[in-house]
Structure 1
Amino acid sequence: MEDLSEVYKSYADEVKRFLICLTSNVDLAEELTQETFYQAVKSIHRYNGEYKMSVWLCQIAKHTYYNYLKKVKNADHLSVENLMQKGVDIPSSKEQPDVEMVRRNTLISIHKEIHLLKEPYREIFLLRTSIQLSFKEIGEVFDKSENWARVSYYRAKLKLAERIDGNEL
């Protein structure tokens, strides 16, 4: 087994990118990344090498995010300020503010549409586009075949295209 600090150095950015796509919140993604690696250290004895380390860590990250959602739902005390803070941090360009504003609004609209996809399509789309997992690895995450992952990703793209065309971004 690799040294745990090396595992963190190698995979933290990938896990964080995956969580940013799931949460749409950079700060929350950073917090969940830390929790993911904490959970990985606690359960490292269960890693058998059957899947790539990145796939295993993304599975833990996914479950960590789902647990977070359960806690938030049970707490049921999100303030308006917290809801307003959610969103994608996209740097702005001072050279072309109008172009940057259109780009930002388009990216946010697309991101919203991605998050409106039903599961497993949303997660498959994010795994493929955000951390570039292969179809074989996506199949492994869901305990399905590589072909299932290909077909599901294709369907996710079609559903997303329908949503975007319907909303005329």
Structure 2
Amino acid sequence: MDSTEVKIIKLAKRGNHQAFSDLVDLYKNKIYHLGYRMLGNKQEAEDITQETFLRVYKSIHKYDAKYKFSTWIFRIGTNLCIDRLRKRKNAFSLDAETIEGEGIDGYDILPSEDDSPDQQLIISETQRHVRKAIDKLPEKYKSVIVLRYLHDLSLQEIGDILHMPVTTVKTRVHRGREYLRKKLEHGNLL
């Protein structure tokens, strides 16, 4: 954590509203992307982002500076996503049809001046297949895969966020990758 971030956190803990606003600016995109990748829905990702910062605001005085702030805030966001996924299980059937195109936005397509339209289509289709496979992951694998590969967190950071030993994180990352590999090889995304 850099010294500027440490200063901002100290000021925010003392109730400085501008410092808290600066923290929001530093982390809002990261938390939004976490929510979007775990939930696959823009509106829910926005809700999770807002709820995460609401929780941070209410409990920033409990933050222990011995630990990385990013780990603390990601733990809050991840737990909120997991709670929402658990509520979904009760509200929706696993057999429910999804609305075609739901959850696809500009982040799913990586256009480049060098790519032809065919290449862009292949990239888009591949990303959609990978996202569908990630969406089908069991909850315990989904959170570690999203944190590891989409947020590039270390195994230790993931363990800190999810309150689990690094060995468990390694196992879940391995099993999650295997699950994804099998789904993508066999095209079992329905």
Is residue 2:27 matched to residue 1:7? no
Partner of 2:60: 44
Partner of 1:56: 72
| RMSD (CA atoms) | 3.0
Is residue 2:142 matched to residue 1:119? no
TM-score of the superposition, structure 2-length normalised? 0.72
In 2, Cα distance between the equivalents of 1:46 and 1:101? 47
| Pair 164,141 (structure 1): closer, same or farther in 2 beyond 3 Å | same
Partner of 1:79: none
How many pairs are equivalent?
A: 165
In 2, Cα distance between the equivalents of 1:69 and 1:164? 22
| Pair 92,54 (structure 1): closer, same or farther in 2 beyond 3 Å | closer
Question: Which structure ranks higher in relative contact order (CA pairs < 8 Å, sequence separation ≥ 6)?
Answer: 1
SS in 1 for 2:139: coil
Offset from partner CA, 1:78-133 (integer Å, 9 cap, x none):
xxxx9456323134759733332222122111111111111211110000011111
What is the deviation of 1:73? Answer: 7.0
What is the deviation of 1:70? Answer: 6.3
What is the deviation of 1:68? Answer: 4.3
In 1, Cα distance between the equivalents of 2:28 and 2:162? 21
Partner of 1:165: 185
In 2, Cα distance between the equivalents of 1:27 and 1:86? 11
Partner of 1:147: 167
Question: Which one has a bigger Cα radius of gyration?
Answer: 2
Partner of 1:107: 127
Residue from 99, 102, 105 that aligns with 1:86:
102
Paired amino acid for 2:148: R
Identity percentage of aligned residues: 27
Residue from 36, 45, 49 that aligns with 1:29:
45
Q: Which runs of 5+ in 2 are unaligned?
A: 1-8, 11-18, 93-97
In 2, Cα distance between the equivalents of 1:118 and 1:75? 16
TM-score of the superposition, structure 1-length normalised? 0.80
Q: Is the 8 A contact 2:31 2:49 kept in 1?
A: yes
SS in 2 for 1:120: helix
Offset from partner CA, 1:130-153 (integer Å, 9 cap, x none):
111111011112222222212221
